[in-house]
Amino acid sequence: MVRDDGRYVDGSVWFFDPNKIAPIVLAAIFGASGLVHAWQCYQYKCWKLTGWAVAGALVYSASLVARVMGASDYKNLTIYVVHFNLVYAAPPLFEMVNYCILARVTYYLPYHSPIHPGRLKTTLTSLATIIEILGGYGAYYTSKRDEPRTEQNIGRGVLAASLFMQIIVIAAYLALAALFHVRSRRSRGPRTRSGTSPVLWTLYVSSMLIFARTVFRLVEFFGFDSFRPFDNDGNAVTIADPSSIPAVVRFEWPFYAFDAGVLLLNLLILHVSHPRRYLPQGRSVYLAQDGVTELEGPGFKDDRNICVIIMDPLDFIGMIKGTNKATRFWEMNGFSERSSAEIRGEHALGDEPTRVRHEGRRKR
């Protein structure tokens, strides 16, 4: 019989006897959400923008399938390890969606970006890759509770580092997003003040949800240290005082409330307020400094070697050599030098955006 009364179930690698119904329902919901996101990516033609949400939803659904299997065999450590690793693998994928959203918004208003838009995505992607690798390594050795204590401690240290890095990166890019938002709100054109605001507010809410989930995982992480169902030789041991184990480990409901529930809410928000509803399909389309005219520039493709991009995402070498200045094409579109009176006069005639090719306009 499944119970969630905080009492230890003898031999359970989960501490408790996992619920058999909840993970089935949630696995189906996350799987369905992934399919809906796939349909939205197809409809809006934005796989590079929100495609990571599909991957994250399916990975998390797979983790819940493993939890269903663990509910039927709560002494099976292998199933627990699979579940534990997939649970930690999914959130960085959801965070990648937010990185891509912020990058796309800066593509649309490049002159308000605190750092070069072409470098923003590569920097955040590189950090996300590092977090995913560290999290995978740490989660594996932390969950392998029959491994020697030394290897578990190494895994715990790596996992803690990945969680702290995730919190720091979320805080850093939220600060970048807020600075970008303030700059765009102060701009002259009507579309720069309002066009990207819904996207940024969606980004804030999504990021704070993932931030809250990461904090929960940190609390749970420190609670796991007191729950060791195996000795150094891999033999099962009896928990002398189960009440000494933190509540976040003894009870199952925190997982559903602060992990699964939070991530599901994050997916639902992206469904309802999809960023492509407010942004153009083409990544090379950007809004001119007048806040009305849409231009098509050369885009933000990084032509550097992939190894160089990973090692130097912000292009410090280019900054030293002065070569990265050539990629700021929006400063040569003829709009940045125009007077405010001229721009206000055009706004009075109408605010409908005009889409032209940047190269063609520059030759006139």
Averaged confidence pLDDT in the chain: 82
Closest alpha carbon to 258 in 223, 226, 217: 217
Can you tell me the distance from the alpha carbon of 65 to that of 35, in angstroms, rounded to the nearest whole number? Answer: 16
- pLDDT above 90 covers a percentage of the chain that reads 47
* Placement of tokens 């055009």 in the chain: 346
Q: Is 103 exposed, middle or buried (0-12, 13-18, 19+ CB in 10 A)?
A: buried
- pLDDT above 70 covers a percentage of the chain that reads 76
pLDDT digits (tens, 9 = 90+) for 225-255: 766 666 666 555 666 677 777 888 889 999 9
- Where do you find CATH 1.20.1070 in the chain? 22-277
For 35-67, letters b (16+ CB in 10 Å) and e give ebbbebbeebebeebbbbbbbbbbbbbbbbbbb
State yes or no: pLDDT of 89 exceeds 50. Answer: yes
CB atoms within 10 A of CB 341: 7
Tell whether domain 22-277 is in CATH 1.10.287: no
Residues paired with 295 in a beta bridge = 286, 356
State yes or no: pLDDT of 356 exceeds 80. Answer: no
Q: Which one-letter DSSP state was computed for residue 326?
A: G
User: E-assigned strands of 82-232?
Assistant: none
Can you tell me the distance from the alpha carbon of 147 to that of 164, in angstroms, rounded to the nearest whole number? Answer: 24
Compute the average pLDDT of residues 246-271.
94
State yes or no: pLDDT of 359 exceeds 60. Answer: no
Main-chain dihedrals φ then ψ at residue 293, nearest 5 degrees: -85, 130
Structure pTM? Answer: 0.85
User: Which residues have a Cβ under 8 Å from the Cβ of 345 and sit 6 or more positions away?
Assistant: none
Over the Cα atoms of the chain, what is R_g?
24
Contact by Cβ (8 Å): 30, 61:
yes
State yes or no: pLDDT of 147 exceeds 80. Answer: no
pLDDT digits (tens, 9 = 90+) for 101-133: 999 999 999 988 888 887 888 888 888 889 999
- State both tokens at 336: 């940045």
State yes or no: pLDDT of 174 exceeds 80. Answer: yes
In one letter, which amino acid is 292? Answer: V
State yes or no: pLDDT of 360 exceeds 60. Answer: no
pLDDT digits (tens, 9 = 90+) for 11-57: 888 888 899 999 999 999 999 999 999 999 999 999 999 999 999 99
pLDDT at 235: 59
pLDDT at 2: 44
Three-state secondary structure call for residue 230: strand
